[in-house]
A and B are shown apart, each in its own frame.
Chain A
Amino acid sequence: MQPVKLRSHGKAGRSTIKESWMEEAAYEAHRLAATTHPPDVRAALNKALERESKELPRFVMKAIVENSMVAEEDQRPICADVGVLRFFVVAGNEASMEGGFVALERAVRRATVRVTRDLALRSNRVHPVNRRNPGNNLGVFSPNIDYRFEPDADWIELIAVHKGGAFGSDFRMMVDGDGLNGVRKGLVDAIAEFGRRGLTCPPVIIGVGVGGTKDQAFSIAKQAAVLRPIGDRHPEPEIAALEDELFDLANSFGLGAMGYPGTGGYALDVHVEIAYTHSALTPLGVHQLCQAARRGVVRVHPDGSIETRPAPSWFSEFFRRAGI
């Protein structure tokens, strides 16, 4: 899927992104996330089906691939559990938004209410203490929005992510002595605990966050799982090699779809992100993104054009502080 221009508002030379365009983009990002597998995920699921030779997991993989088509065709949610609707926003440093970022947040909230109603998404966000369900996926800190900024860009990219979350995440506070074996074991622990019985809804995309602070390790692991396309490799060769090694490790247990013994593979990919950490410690985060890997990416330009994109541009050299 090449970037697809949805609309041009035909006002070349305009320099301010309007709130209404952002709402349109946020709605489209949600719709894509809910109903349409990203092209890299669909291709990887097809390959997993081809690799699978055992009857039971092959039956499952066929259904998963068919479901992907049915969801797009009927415009139904790929998964009834819409997870927690959230946005990652890449804002160009030169982008100017009418009403500023407060307007962007307003636009995102309006789009979330509309898409919940129009696609009959499950209203999935409830008050954590009294379990009250407001019915529109809005609430305290909901939808959550994470921002990062990109130099020399005048556009704003909205990345909608719909992901559940009970199973697959794991955290270890590792110390300096745990080393790389600690990373390997942390991954195996997460798969042993949640991959069996298919609680993670495999085949999954695994994100591993190594280093930083405790919350950073968890955040970059999540971002590695949900914001990097399958096949992408970390720019540092040492980390890219670790990704390849962990990918082989994750697929070495003979786990197939739903945790049944199979040949199709457990992980579609493993992405590792690192952050410089405390000299005594190595916090480790692991996230596993289910086969209903839902993200929708829409970029808005100051001339009013809105384009859907096959993959997020969340990770960049600037964002990773490459070369320091």
Chain B
Amino acid sequence: MRTFRLKTPLTEDAVRELRVGDVVYLDGKIHTGRALVYQHVLEKGNEPPIDLAATCNVQMHGAPAGAEGELGRYRISSIQATASFRYARWVPEYVRRYAIRAVIGKGGMDGAIYRDVFSRTGTVFLTTVGYGIAAIYGRGVRNVEAVYWKEELGLPEAMWVIEVGNFGPFIVDGDCTGASLADQANEVINPRFAEVYARMPQHVLKRMGEIAQSLEDEVIAGNAGCPDDAGAAPPSRGGRR
């Protein structure tokens, strides 16, 4: 596996060189954000108090395990990312508006976002490893520079700007060619599921809202919504099976 150690703010050239399956470590500044941050910025019109593009153009879908000590002093014990497909309705606009070069998350996002948005903006999706190596990532946090919107969003889900060193490892799940590591994995796994399903009878009662069983529709399907892309379907979880 190719391994890269990159400084933030990330350059477009550095990001475009990455390919799915590469391992990345980061030095510099990053910022966090989940649903509350996206809503605060994109729906309620609050501008981030710092120039994200110029200082910390990496966004992590995470709320750290952190605490406030002496006034204005914060510490983070552990940090990692949460499932990113939940934020598909905001990610494209946020990435474009603030020139985000890397989104650190969990589970990847719908391949359509990599193909249609990230390939144009020059952005990669870095997946956290193991989805629970938060103590290792915690060691990579050097300093909490600022916590914005703590009162409005609560401490964990505020926008944390943190300085990191040798922060990683992360694996590239989506690169600027539009490739998706998770999709590649599913191509290998799906036939095995299909084989097992072929010899299993359906349940007598469906789940609530269930229409049909399909391996093409994963739990994240229907979350590729790009609100400002003409013709894109609105985000929906209805009728996904």
Closest A residue by C-beta to B62:
A80
Question: Nearest Cβ in chain B — how far from A115, in angstroms?
Answer: 11
Partner of A117, one of B67, B138, B203: B67
When chains A and B are docked, how far (Å) is the Cα of A255 from the Cα of B130? Answer: 13
Q: Tell me which of B201, B215, B219 contacts A167 (CB under 8 A).
A: B219
Instruction: Establish whether residues A78 and B130, one from each chain, have CB atoms under 8 Å apart when the complex forms.
Output: no
Contact A197 B218 (CB under 8 A): yes
Chain A, residues 51-92, CB within 8 Å of chain B (1/0): the string is 000011001110110110011001011111110000000000
- A182 is an interface residue with CB less than 8 A from chain B: yes
Minimum CB–CB distance for A225 against chain B, Å = 16
Contact B135 A70 (CB under 8 A): yes
Q: In the complex where A120-B75, A253-B193, A259-B185 touch, is A196 in contact with B218 (Cβ < 8 A)?
A: yes
Checking B78, B131, B182, B200 against A290 with a beta-carbon cut-off of 8 angstroms, the contacting residue is B131
Q: Which residues from B are CB-within-8-Å of A291?
A: 130-132
Contact of B182 among A167, A193, A197 (CB under 8 A): A197
Cα distance A260–B127 in the bound complex, in angstroms: 13
Per-residue CB proximity of B51-73 to A under 8 Å, as 1/0? 00000000000111111000000
Whether the Cβ atoms of A135 and B154 lie closer than 8 Å is yes
A261 part of interface (Cβ distance < 8 Å): yes
B112 interface hit (Cβ, 8 Å): no
Cβ A122 vs Cβ B66 within 8 A: yes
Please state if B65 and A82 are interface contacts (CB–CB under 8 Å).
yes
| B64 near A122: Cβ-Cβ < 8 Å | yes
Contact of B134 with A258 in the complex, beta carbons under 8 Å? no
Within 8 Å of chain A (Cβ to Cβ): is B8? no
Which residues in window 154-205 of A have CB below 8 A to B? 166-167, 171-175, 177-178, 181-182, 184-186, 188-189, 192-194, 196-199, 201
Interface size on A, residues (CB 8 A): 68
The answer to whether B131 and A198 have CB atoms under 8 Å apart is: yes
Q: Which residue of B lies closest to A175 (CB)?
A: B204
> Given that A77-B77, A123-B156 are known contacts, is A184 also in contact with B218, CB under 8 Å in the complex?
no
- How many residue pairs between the two chains, A and B, have CB atoms under 8 Å in the bound complex? 198
Cβ–Cβ < 8 Å partners of B76 in chain A: 120
| Residue of B129, B155, B203 touching A133 (CB-CB under 8 A) | B155
Asked if A46 is at the interface of the complex by the 8 Å CB criterion, the answer is: no
- The reply to whether the CB of B123 lies closer than 8 angstroms to some CB of chain A is no
| CA A185 to CA B64, docked complex, whole Å | 37
Residue pair A66, B77 in contact (C-beta under 8 Å): no
A63 and B204 contact, Cβ closer than 8 Å, known pairs A166-B83, A252-B192, A253-B192: no
Centre residue among B106, B134, B137, B201 by max chain A CB count within 10 A: B134
Q: How far is the CA of A122 from the CA of B171 in the complex (A)?
A: 25
CB pair B192 A76 closer than 8 Å: no
> In the assembly, what is the distance between CA of A192 and CA of B131, in Å?
18
B197 touches A188 (CB 8 A): yes
Which residues of chain A from 89 to 148 have any CB-CB distance to chain B below 8 Å in the complex? 117, 119-124, 126, 131-133, 135
Residues of B within 8 A of A135 (CB): 154-155
- Chain A positions near chain B (C-beta within 8 angstroms): 55-56, 59-61, 63-64, 66-67, 70-71, 74, 76-82, 117, 119-124, 126, 131-133, 135, 166-167, 171-175, 177-178, 181-182, 184-186, 188-189, 192-194, 196-199, 201, 249, 252-255, 257-261, 290-292
Query: Which are the 10 A-B pairs with shortest beta-carbon distances?
Result: A133-B154, A71-B135, A67-B133, A292-B132, A120-B67, A120-B77, A80-B134, A76-B135, A201-B131, A79-B132
10 A-B pairs with CB atoms under 8 Å apart are: A77-B65, A79-B78, A120-B67, A172-B203, A173-B205, A178-B203, A196-B218, A252-B196, A259-B185, A290-B132
Residues of chain B touching chain A, judged by Cβ–Cβ distance below 8 Å, are 1, 21, 23, 36, 62-67, 75-80, 82-83, 106-108, 127, 129-139, 154-157, 169, 171, 182, 185-186, 188-189, 192-193, 196-197, 200-205, 207, 213, 215, 218-220
